[in-house]
Structure 1
Amino acid sequence: MNFLQDASILVAEDNLVNQILIKKILKKWHVRNLVIASDGQEAIDEFERGEFDVVLIDIQMPVFDGFTVAKYIRSNKDPHKREIPILIFSASSYHEIKNEMDQIGINDFVEKPFTPEALIGKLTEYLNSKDIS
């Protein structure tokens, strides 16, 4: 799990309990940089300010929903930022949102409620293969 120590992760999640849980899980794994946004606009602002290796986005958030944030990321002028892995949190089933995920270019899905193992497993899949510097 050493690759997580070099990772920079943006999490867009409006639920305070989930924010605390995600922060606890990722700090336990010694993530280098963790930024948590509470709504879609804040997620976009943080995305523009920072350099991230992966983005985790809740589908249902205030201001802009997760799909809107993902569309914004995929339309970014910077090719590096535009190609960042995007993982969506949702209580919906994967099959309910698969078409929209595919159309936008969302990489993967983390079902809510999530377990630490599921979250770390998804991050491992997208960060371990990436050259994080």
Structure 2
Amino acid sequence: MADENEFEGASPQIAARLASLAGKRGLLVEDHPLNTEIARKLLEREKMLVEDTANGKEAVERFEASETGYYDAILMDIRMPVMNGLDAAKAIRALPRPDAATVPIIAMTANAFDEDVKTTLESGMNAHLSKPIEPNVMYDTLSRFIK
């Protein structure tokens, strides 16, 4: 858990955001190494604990093998080899465990048209972030969904 003193001097809004993400576990699903590195650094800057996988199949397997409630959020690319993010989100939502229906799944994609956003939400994802990722938009989105 985050130490309240480390938020001293920060605005109440930023301090609340930092506190809400610190110590939370995220599963980062991204096939491009540079995008993985950038997203990981952004998440770790907010003191999140990050694990990553390179495709949707690995993400489903990792989630399925984890303890219930282990991941606080999943950030998932859409276009990946082996299994894309849309199919992975559907597969996670279909798993017979309580957190499969509730874990926040957030799309990270260059596809930003209204139809793309609609498709991600229909797949069971909770939100849609457009690449390149805006750090504050990502943090605010995570803060909205992580409890």
Same fold judged by TM-score > 0.5? yes
Q: What corresponds to 1:106 in structure 2? A: 125
Answering whether residue 54 of structure 2 is matched by residue 54 of structure 1, we say no
Q: What corresponds to 2:13 in structure 1? A: none
Q: How many residues align?
A: 127
Contact residue 59 and residue 89 of structure 1 kept, 8 A? yes
- Counterpart of 1:26 (choices 30, 43, 56) is 43
- 1:6 corresponds to which letter in structure 2? G
Which string of whole-angstrom CA distances, capped at 9 and with x for unpartnered residues, describes residues 58-117 of structure 1?
000110000000000111100222221111111112402233233322110000111211
State, as a whole percentage, how many aligned pairs show the same letter: 28
Contact residue 74 and residue 104 of structure 2 kept, 8 A? yes
TM-score, normalised on structure 2? Answer: 0.80
What RMSD, in angstroms, separates the aligned Cα atoms of the two structures? 1.4
- Counterpart of 1:10 (choices 27, 39, 42) is 27
Contact residue 40 and residue 66 of structure 1 kept, 8 A? yes
Q: What corresponds to 2:59 in structure 1? A: 43
Secondary structure of 2:62 counterpart: helix
Moved more, 99-108 or 53-62: 99-108
Secondary structure of 2:142 counterpart: helix
Q: Greater Rg, structure 1 or structure 2?
A: 2
Answering whether residue 84 of structure 2 is matched by residue 65 of structure 1, we say yes
In the TM superposition, residue 9 of structure 1 has moved relative to its aligned partner by: 0.6
- 1:37 corresponds to which letter in structure 2? T
- 1:55 corresponds to which letter in structure 2? I
In the TM superposition, residue 46 of structure 1 has moved relative to its aligned partner by: 1.4
Segments of structure 2 that go 5 or more residues without pairing to the other structure are 1-17
Q: What corresponds to 2:134 in structure 1? A: 115
For 1:103 and 1:26, locate their aligned partners in 2 and report how far apart those are by CA, in whole Å. Answer: 26
Segments of structure 1 that go 5 or more residues without pairing to the other structure are none
